Structure 1
Amino acid sequence: MTPSVGDSRETVVVENLSRTRIVQYAGASGDYNPLHTDEPFARDVAGYPGVFAHGMLTMGLTGRALTDWVGEDRLLDFGVRFTAQVWPGDTLTTTITVDAISEGAEPTATLSVVTTNQDGVTVVSGTATTRLDP
């Protein structure tokens, strides 16, 4: 990867997120919080319109877009804030932008990472640092 400041990449990370995928994530992660898996609980007890995706599922989808661009072996740091729920049926798009490049013994790039839903609502925002070729 030999980026320049301002370079950007946009990737659809999931189209029409299914309840099945949310439940599969619950099984893989061991997080069976009923907000994510039990429609009557989420709606009638917790007061949400229905179940919604785990934040870490959304972070994982976002992270995959990141590693697809920079490579798994180059990613040094990745952190996010969860800013809105992700609902079944959502389509998520991740945009990664090169904010800064640091030269030196081990050159790095600082990236901003934003994932939005089909309505343009930001659901995840964060930063990452990646190692560059010297």
Structure 2
Amino acid sequence: MTTPPPGPIILFDAECVLCSAQARFVLERDRAATFRLAAMQGEAGRSLCRRHGLDPDDPASLLVVDGSRVRRDSDAILHIYETLGFPWRLARILRLVPARLRDPVYRLVARNRYRLFGKRDSCWTAPERYRDRIL
């Protein structure tokens, strides 16, 4: 695998309807083009997942990888929203809730995401205008 471009990379489950919607949401609102995205099912995503201790065949969390720093669970989601700017950065208020309380809720939704939101028959692909931001 080649070295990923600089900046944070969001690793997401492209078969998950909720996760794909989140990826699309980020691409459309990340006006500074800060984030790159990698599907956990793709070659780059699988490699990054394994490197950071996540099974790409049974992803339990979204990851945000920024150099040597890895964010997961609710911290990853909050970091994404904080980075998107106003009004999304207002999600930062959720940091008042300790991670030990936020993360179990995140994991409950993550474990049941296919049941709650559905699973795609094939991986989501980004619109052409965003392809340069997909690994």
- Relative to the length of structure 2, the TM-score reads 0.28
Which one has the largest radius of gyration? 1
Q: Which structure has greater strand proportion?
A: 1
Q: Which structure has greater helix proportion?
A: 2
